Amino acid sequence: MLNFSFQNTTKILFGEGQIKAISKAIPADARILVTYGGGSIKKNGVYDQLTAALSEHTWFEFSGIEPNPSYEQLMKALASIQEHDIDYLLAVGGGSVVDGTKFIAAAALFEGDDPWDFVAAGKPIKRALPLGCILTLPATGSESNTGAVVTRDGNKLPFSSPLVRPLFAVLDPAVTLSLSDRQISNGVVDAFAHTMEQYLTYNVNGKVQDRFAEGLLLTLIEEGPKALNEKTKNDISVRGNIMWAATMALNGLIGAGVPQDWSTHMIAHELTGSHGIDHARTLSIVLPAVMKVCAEAKRDKILQYAERVWNVTEGDETTRIQKAIELTEQFFEKMQVPTRLSHVDLAKTDIDHLIEKLTQHGMVKLGEHRNITPDVSRKILSTAL
């Protein structure tokens, strides 16, 4: 196992009815800006619950944070923060709202000219407003991690700072019942990809990390399809297991002390940045292709994955690797997400532009061995056609 330091300070408030716990989780004298997206929280009762919970607090609101949040929209929140002397942020929504609110938290106290500099130019984040969140879509892990992804002019870029890790996260599985099938699929597939990208590298004998990761993958494979099935989709325990799995998949635990390979995410971000495809639906296209192109470098781990996650034990190594990739694709198909570029109407002629953007964004040495160059990324995208 590699050396690591691990600290996750987000307080998790899990379970039905937990939204009311925010009344104690947020200091009584805070001046809060509640941030949210396009209004789903007004239709599913979440807004009413938070209004009741904050009845003794001073709060204002900022709405309109879009899926794949944009710099332009997020910057508008800074005026409200100044006007109302805000000192606490409460993000209410999916990963986009939480990510966007992380950006707002750091942008509000940024000392340079343009907050985009801490995203694109690597300027340090020295201070940020405190934030908490009520998560309504299990997927990204943003509710208890330090990362966020923001888009400006088609450039979708990640940033990270411990200063933007939420202080608390309410995980009430009941609020996910209003998600569409498409959003639930997206969430399960995103969490699956996060787990794979911290698991499917090379063996460092990180037994705890491996078995935690395999447990998460098995949970998502078991519960994901149930959340799409008419008979089981409203089962709160199904929703709860998916929600907790998604949080655990990217809260730093399974990735501590093991190599990581975020090439799928980095290549996939270009598909969203240039073509507006949902985040998870880019991952389900890129991940199987990464497995195929990098099968040799990942051989031992794919074989372990084949056996422990899919019970594939028959045949020679090459056959078992192929079978594991096939089963992964079949799982994505069951979750109703695309697995080929052609499924989202992209073709060979689109690849040049994607490689150009990847290069422009400095994503030229990806993977656990840092050997996924633009040429290898091209091969991955060509394999995904």
Name the minimum Å distance from CB 139 to Zn ion. 7
Long-range contacts, 116-120 (Cβ 8 Å, 24+): 116/71, 116/152, 118/159, 118/161, 119/71, 119/150, 119/152, 119/157, 119/158, 119/159, 120/152, 120/155, 120/157
Closer to Zn ion by Cβ: residue 10 or 195: 195
Give the three-state DSSP class for 273: helix
Q: Which is nearer to ligand NZQ, 151 or 320 (CB)?
A: 151
Cβ closest to ligand NZQ, residue 66 vs residue 350: 66
Instruction: Determine the residue type at 245.
Output: A
Nearer to ligand NZQ, 183 or 219 (CB): 183
- By CB under 6 A, name the binding residues for ligand NZQ: 37-41, 44, 67-68, 93-97, 99, 136-137, 139-142, 145, 147-149, 175-176, 178-179, 183, 186-187, 190, 250, 265, 279
Pairing of strands 147-152, 155-160: antiparallel
φ, ψ of residue 234 to 5 degrees: the values are -95, 10
Residue entry with tokens 């975020």: 262
Options 29-37, 183-191, 323-331, 358-366: segment touching Zn ion (CB under 5 A): 183-191
93/367 with CB nearer ligand NZQ: 93
8 Å CB contact between 367 and 294: yes
In whole angstroms, the minimum distance from the beta carbon of 197 to ligand NZQ comes to 9
Partner from ligand NZQ, Zn ion, none contacting 176, C-beta within 5 to 8 A by type:
ligand NZQ
Q: Which residue sits closest to Zn ion, CB atoms considered?
A: 190
**Whole-angstrom Cα distance, residue 65 to residue 214?**
34
Order of strands across the sheet that contains 131-135: 11-14, 168-171, 131-135, 88-93, 31-36, 58-62
Closest distance between ligand NZQ and the C-beta of residue 181, in Å? 11
Pick what 137 binds: Zn ion, ligand NZQ, none; C-beta below 5 to 8 Å, kind-dependent.
ligand NZQ
**Closer of 59 and 331 to Zn ion (Cβ):** 331
User: Residue 295 in contact with residue 367, Cβ under 8 Å?
Assistant: no
Shortest gap between Cβ of 88 and ligand NZQ (angstroms)? 20
* Residue 190 touching Zn ion (CB under 5 A): yes
Residue 252 interacts with, from ligand NZQ, Zn ion, none (CB under 5-8 Å by kind): none
Can you tell me the distance from the alpha carbon of 56 to that of 384, in angstroms, rounded to the nearest whole number?
Answer: 53
Which residues bind to Zn ion, rule: CB under 5 A?
190
